[in-house]
Structure 1
Amino acid sequence: MINAIVQLIGESQSFLVASHAHPDGDAVGSTLALVSFLRQLGKNAVAFNLDGIPEELSFLPGADEVICQPEALSSYDVGFILDSGELGRAGDFLQNHCSKLVNVDHHPHSEPFGAINYVDEQACATGALIYRIIQTAGYSISHDVALCVYTAILSDTGSFRYSNANPEAFQIASALVEVGVSPWYVAGNLYESRPAEQIKLLSHVLETLTVSSCGRFGSVMVTTGMLQAAGARPEHTDGLINYPRSIRGVEVALFFRQVEDDLFKVSFRSKGKVDVGSLARELGGGGHHNAAGATVAGSMEQVQEVVFDRLNALLPLC
Structure 2
Amino acid sequence: MIERILGEIHANSSFLVTTHENPDGDAVGSSLALAGYLKALGKDVTIHFCDAVPDLYTFLPLASEVVQQLPERDYDVCFVLDVGEFRRAGAQINQCRRVGKFINIDHHLTIDNFGSINYIDPAAAASGVLVYRIIKASDWPIDLPIALSIYTAIITDTGSFRYSNANPEAFAIAGEMIEVGVNAWDISEKLYESQPQERLMLLALALSTLTTSSCGKFASLAVTLEMYARTGATAELTDGFVNYPRSISGVEVAVFFREISAGFFKVGFRSKGKVDVSSIAAAFGGGGHHNAAGCNLKGSLDDVKTQIFSHLEKAI
**Residue 110 of structure 2 contacts residue 278 of structure 2 at CA under 8 Å; is this kept in 1?**
no
Q: Does 1:137 align with 2:138?
A: yes
> CA deviation digits over 1:64-98, x for unaligned, max 9?
1101113x352111100000122211035424221
Q: Does 1:74 align with 2:73?
A: yes
Return the TM-score normalized by structure 2: 0.98
Distance in 1, Cα, partners of 2:48 & 2:283: 30
Distance in 2, Cα, partners of 1:93 & 1:286: 22
Equivalent position SS for 1:104: strand
Give matches, 1:24-103, under 5 Å. Answer: 24-70=24-70, 72-91=71-90, 93-94=92-93, 95-103=96-104
Residue of structure 2 equivalent to 1:263: 264
Q: Does 1:238 align with 2:239?
A: yes
Cα RMSD of the aligned pairs, angstroms, is 1.0
**Residue 50 of structure 2 contacts residue 92 of structure 2 at CA under 8 Å; is this kept in 1?**
no
The residue type paired with residue 60 of structure 2 is L
Residue of structure 1 equivalent to 2:223: 222
Distance in 2, Cα, partners of 1:61 & 1:73: 25
> CA deviation digits over 1:82-134, x for unaligned, max 9?
00122211035424221011000001131111111100111000000000000
Residue of structure 2 equivalent to 1:164: 165
- After superposition, the Cα gap between the structure-2 partners of 1:198 and 1:73, relative to the gap in structure 1 and judged at 3 Å, is farther
Residue of structure 1 equivalent to 2:106: 105
- After superposition, the Cα gap between the structure-2 partners of 1:73 and 1:134, relative to the gap in structure 1 and judged at 3 Å, is farther
Equivalent position SS for 2:165: coil
Shift in Å, 1:46: 1.4
Distance in 2, Cα, partners of 1:255 & 1:91: 22
Return the TM-score normalized by structure 1: 0.97
Q: Does 1:308 align with 2:309?
A: yes
Equivalent position SS for 1:239: coil
Distance in 1, Cα, partners of 2:184 & 2:99: 36
Shift in Å, 1:260: 2.4
The residue type paired with residue 175 of structure 1 is E
Instruction: Could you list the structure 1 runs, at least 4 aligned residues long, displaced by more than 6 angstroms after superposition.
Output: none
Distance in 2, Cα, partners of 1:212 & 1:111: 33
Q: Structure 1, unaligned stretches of length 5 or more?
A: none
Equivalent position SS for 2:266: strand
Distance in 1, Cα, partners of 2:204 & 2:73: 44
**Residue 15 of structure 2 contacts residue 45 of structure 2 at CA under 8 Å; is this kept in 1?**
yes
Distance in 1, Cα, partners of 2:17 & 2:107: 16
| Sequence identity (%) | 52
Distance in 1, Cα, partners of 2:168 & 2:205: 38
**Residue 241 of structure 2 contacts residue 256 of structure 2 at CA under 8 Å; is this kept in 1?**
yes
The residue type paired with residue 229 of structure 1 is R
Distance in 1, Cα, partners of 2:307 & 2:61: 42
Q: Structure 2, unaligned stretches of length 5 or more?
A: none
Equivalent position SS for 1:208: coil
Distance in 1, Cα, partners of 2:6 & 2:265: 40
Equivalent position SS for 2:17: strand
Give matches, 1:109-128, under 5 Å. Answer: 109-128=110-129
Distance in 2, Cα, partners of 1:308 & 1:148: 37
**Residue 16 of structure 2 contacts residue 77 of structure 2 at CA under 8 Å; is this kept in 1?**
yes
